[in-house]
């Protein structure tokens, strides 16, 4: 038979109609993968069925089919398989596991096949979505493709009761589509998310997720007339763009693989992926940097049931911890859009960002040094490491908020360099140095006093502190026979000690000093810092003398000549 097609207000309404047609009702179990979006779970909530979450395979971001086999029970009434990011699920295996249980394919991420391959044609039914970010963009809308004849007959009967949306909604949706089209023409889609958020707070656009799916009238609507009218042309256009998108995907795959990040397997010929997903150590950092560089990088799915967290997440029946791979993916995976109009330059910028910011979550021994730009979280981590590991210093007594201000300044100042060591994405140490600490202090006081004051004042006003502050400032100007270049702080947390992290950090900073013309660098270390003394001796620093920064605290001064690096072969990262 040729498959029957029904057009609905959106993808999730199509899914709801399919499940209704299958006779799924309150108390039944329906299997879905975790690492999905609320659009998939809303229809289940509306029907009162119990979602049974199956974890994903970390290599493909689609359902772990062994876990699926274990999840099927006598109460399972349907299995929803999601071709996440356009990576096709092994449908033959799903069929073998499913037995008599109907399969519903979530094809929201996959390009509708021209020739009917297994995708979209294997299950009892499949559904598609046409909103932004899907392979065919025609506006908010969804379609059910029904392969099972009995199901098709039932759905045809029920479809009569679906009405087109009210005209007012039609108008809002048409305007929203126009905004999106203009933005994508202007190449500013990276801005849309923020724009939509702002507009939906003002009530000017319709948000993606219903307040209460059980109540929403949308589940009785057909596709809007404008999307229905636009869809054939948009589908044809998307089909024509497949060759160009295939080339873009190949470029991403080559670049990402060269950097050592694993990718889901690409079937050959295989459908063109919607996105190229990459698991990175520092997802937040990469997304922040992408926004600064005006690059579109996807954060979804950000939770096991995107974008829900906390009570809303638990209301979907997902128990935190239930699907560890899904939660891991939500914490680590970013995705690059595979757009027909992406230029090789756009792709290169995405790859360059990946190389600059993000380590693999557990790649090359796990250790990675980042040189900024730093995220707020990373700056906070540096401040916290300072506060806990340099526990007795004056700066530590100022507290973490003041240290954050300080390190944000250090990271931005041209007098300084800051390197952060990440192990599996976790900050494990840092080193920072300055070419001229007194210039740094003057610059900081001049530019940041107004930021620092609220954090500093209450602490400075305690007796004793003021003295020590003055001593610290005076120290910066003393000892005039010593080089200005200086290691300001160097911390490696206990779990990373002995891993070579210290050596790599030190080496990076010394290379920076060298490239800035500093041939000698001083390091001042507390007399009792046995580990530091051992390290500086090992790297060939010479003991220059002793000093006392704070009354009663003896320190050693080491000198390191960057020209000595050749005679002391050291690991380079």
Torsion over CA: 20, 23, 29, 31 (sign): negative
Whose CB is nearest to ligand PLP? 11
Question: Using the rule CB under 6 A, is 11 a contact of ligand PLP?
Answer: yes
* Separation between Cα atoms, residue 13 and residue 220, nearest integer Å: 8
Instruction: Say if residues 123 and 96 touch (Cβ distance below 8 Å).
Output: no
Which residue in 36, 176, 360, 413 binds ligand PLP (CB under 6 A)? 36
Cβ closer to ligand PLP: 271 or 433? 271
* DSSP, res 221: B
Q: What are phi and psi of 254, to 5 degrees?
A: -60, -50
Q: What residues between 68 and 87 interact with ligand PLP by CB under 6 A? A: 82
Start-to-end Cα distance in the chain: 61
> Rounded to 5 degrees, what are φ and ψ at 551?
-45, 125
Residue 39 vs 501, nearer CB to ligand PLP: 39
Is residue 4 involved in binding ligand PLP (CB under 6 A)? no
Query: Does 12 interact with ligand PLP (rule: CB under 6 A)?
Result: yes
Select from 223, 55, 35 the least CA-distant residue to 142.
Answer: 223
333 contacts ligand PLP (rule: CB under 6 A) = no
Question: Rounded to the nearest whole angstrom, what is the least distance from the CB of residue 39 to ligand PLP in the complex?
Answer: 4
User: Any contact of residue 230 with ligand PLP (CB under 6 A)?
Assistant: no
Pairing of β 305-306 and β 76-82: unpaired
Using the contact rule CB under 6 A, the part of the chain among 9-17, 21-29, 251-259, 546-554 near ligand PLP is 9-17
For position 10 contacting ligand PLP by CB under 6 A, the verdict is yes
Give CA 502 to chain center in angstroms.
28
Residue with Cβ nearer ligand PLP (109 or 415) = 109
| Separation of alpha carbons 381 and 399, rounded Å | 13
Cβ neighbours for 399, distance < 8 A, ≥ 6 positions apart: 387, 455, 459
Residues 6+ apart with CB under 8 A from 69: 97
Contact yes or no for 252/166 (Cβ under 8 A):
no
CA separation for the pair 34, 325 (Å, rounded):
9
* 131 touches ligand PLP (CB under 6 A): yes
CB of 301 to ligand PLP, least distance (A): 8
Kindly tell me which residue out of 129, 224, 335, 562 binds ligand PLP, with binding defined by CB under 6 A: 129
Residues 164-193 that bind ligand PLP (CB under 6 A): none
When the beta carbons of 130 and 512 are compared against ligand PLP, the nearer one is 130
Q: How far is the CB of 216 from ligand PLP (least distance, A)?
A: 11
Residue 211: CB atoms within 10 A of its CB come to: 7
Give the residue with the Cβ less far from ligand PLP, 41 or 410.
41
Residue 142 engages ligand PLP in binding (rule: CB under 6 A): yes
Coil/strand/helix, residue 554: strand
Which residue's CB is nearer to ligand PLP, number 109 or number 222?
109
For residue 4, what are the β-bridge partners?
146
Among 394, 386, 324, smallest CA distance to 361 is for 324
Q: Residue 384 burial (CB < 10 Å; 0-12/13-18/19+)?
A: middle
Nearest approach, Cβ of residue 84 and ligand PLP (Å):
7
Contacts with ligand PLP by CB under 6 A: the residue count is: 14
Helix H or strand E segment including 180: helix 167-186
Nearest to ligand PLP of 221, 558 (CB atom): 221
39 is an interface residue for ligand PLP by CB under 6 A: yes
User: Residue 57, interface with ligand PLP (CB under 6 A)?
Assistant: no
Comparison of 133 and 372: residue with beta carbon closer to ligand PLP? 133
For ligand PLP, the closer CB: 108 or 541: 108
Question: With respect to ligand PLP, which residue has the nearer C-beta, 37 or 89?
Answer: 37
Pick the piece of the chain touching ligand PLP (CB under 6 A) from 10-18, 286-294, 381-389, 505-513.
10-18
Residues 435-494 that bind ligand PLP (CB under 6 A): none
Instruction: CB nearer to ligand PLP: give 273 or 366.
Output: 273
For ligand PLP, the binding residue among 37, 146, 205, 338 (CB under 6 A) is 37
CB atoms within 10 A of CB 295: 18
Smallest distance from the beta carbon of 56 to ligand PLP, in angstroms? 12
Q: How many CA atoms lie within 13 A of 442 on its CB side?
A: 7
Site for ligand PLP in 85-114 (CB under 6 A): 106, 108-109
Instruction: Name the one range near ligand PLP by CB under 6 A: 35-43, 166-174, 178-186, 532-540.
Output: 35-43
Q: Residue 82 in contact with residue 109, Cβ under 8 Å?
A: yes
- Does position 143 bind ligand PLP by CB under 6 A? no
**Cross-strand bridge partners of residue 126:** 105, 145
Minimum distance, C-beta of residue 335 to ligand PLP, in the bound complex (Å): 11
- Please identify, using beta-carbon distances, which residue of 39 and 557 lies nearer to ligand PLP: 39
Rounded to 5, what percent of the chain is helix, strand, coil? 45, 20, 35
Contact 49, 30 (CB under 8 A): yes
Instruction: Say if residue 332 is exposed, middle or buried (CB neighbours under 10 Å; 0-12, 13-18, 19+).
Output: buried
Positions that interact with ligand PLP (CB under 6 A) = 10-12, 36-37, 39-40, 82, 106, 108-109, 129, 131, 142
């Amino acid at each position: 038979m040729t498959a029957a097609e029904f057009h609905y207000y959106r993808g999730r309404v199509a899914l709801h109609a399919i499940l209704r047609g299958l006779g799924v009702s309150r108390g039944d179990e329906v299997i879905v993968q975790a690492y999905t979006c609320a659009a998939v779970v809303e229809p289940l909530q509306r029907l009162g069925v119990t979602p049974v979450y199956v974890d994903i395979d970390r290599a493909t971001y689609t359902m772990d089919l062994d876990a699926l086999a274990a999840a099927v029970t006598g109460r399972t009434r349907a299995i929803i398989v999601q071709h996440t990011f356009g990576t096709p699920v092994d449908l033959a295996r799903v069929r073998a596991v499913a037995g008599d249980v109907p399969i519903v394919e979530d094809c929201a991420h996959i390009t509708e096949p021209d020739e009917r391959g297994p995708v979209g044609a294997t299950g009892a039914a499949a559904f598609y979505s046409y909103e932004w970010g899907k392979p065919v963009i025609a506006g908010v809308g969804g379609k059910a493709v029904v392969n099972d004849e009995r199901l098709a007959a039932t759905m045809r009967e029920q479809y009569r009761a679906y009405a087109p949306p009210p005209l007012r909604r039609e108008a809002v949706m048409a305007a929203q589509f126009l905004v999106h089209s203009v933005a994508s023409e202007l190449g500013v889609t990276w801005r849309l998310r923020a724009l939509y958020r702002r507009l939906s707070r003002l009530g000017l656009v319709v948000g993606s997720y219903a307040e209460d799916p059980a109540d929403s009238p949308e589940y009785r609507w057909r596709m809007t007339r404008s999307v229905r009218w636009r869809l054939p042309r948009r589908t044809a256009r998307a089909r024509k763009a497949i060759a160009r998108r295939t080339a873009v995907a190949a470029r991403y795959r080559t670049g990402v693989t060269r950097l050592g990040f694993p990718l889901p397997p690409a079937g050959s010929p295989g459908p063109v992926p919607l996105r190229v997903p990459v698991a990175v150590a520092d997802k937040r950092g990469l997304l922040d940097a992408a926004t600064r560089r005006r690059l579109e990088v996807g954060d979804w799915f950000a939770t096991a049931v995107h974008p829900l967290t906390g009570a809303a997440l638990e209301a979907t029946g997902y128990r935190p911890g239930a699907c560890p791979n899904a939660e891991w993916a939500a914490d680590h995976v970013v995705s690059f859009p595979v757009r027909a109009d992406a230029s090789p330059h756009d792709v290169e910028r995405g790859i360059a960002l990946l190389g600059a910011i993000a380590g693999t979550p557990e790649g090359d021994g796990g250790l990675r040094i980042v040189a900024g730009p730093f995220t707020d979280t990373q700056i906070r981590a540096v401040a916290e490491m300072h506060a806990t590991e340099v526990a007795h210093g004056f700066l530590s007594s100022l507290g973490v908020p003041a240290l954050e201000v300080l390190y944000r300044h250090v990271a931005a100042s041209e007098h300084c360099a800051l390197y952060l060591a990440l192990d599996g994405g976790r900050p494990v140490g840092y080193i920072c140095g300055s070419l001229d600490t007194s210039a740094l202090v003057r610059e900081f006081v001049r530019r940041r006093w107004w930021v620092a004051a609220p954090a500093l004042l209450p602490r400075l006003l305690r007796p004793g502190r003021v003295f020590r502050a003055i001593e610290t400032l005076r120290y910066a100007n003393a000892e005039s026979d010593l080089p200005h270049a200086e290691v300001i702080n160097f911390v490696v947390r206990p779990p990373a000690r002995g891993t070579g992290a210290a050596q790599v950090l030190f080496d990076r900073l010394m290379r920076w000093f060298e490239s800035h013309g500093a041939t000698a660098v001083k390091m001042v270390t507390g007399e009792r810092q046995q580990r530091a003394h051992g390290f500086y001796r090992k790297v060939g620093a010479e003991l220059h003398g002793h000093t006392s920064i704070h009354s009663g605290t003896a320190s050693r001064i080491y000198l390191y000549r960057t020209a000595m690096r050749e005679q002391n072969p050291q690991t380079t990262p």
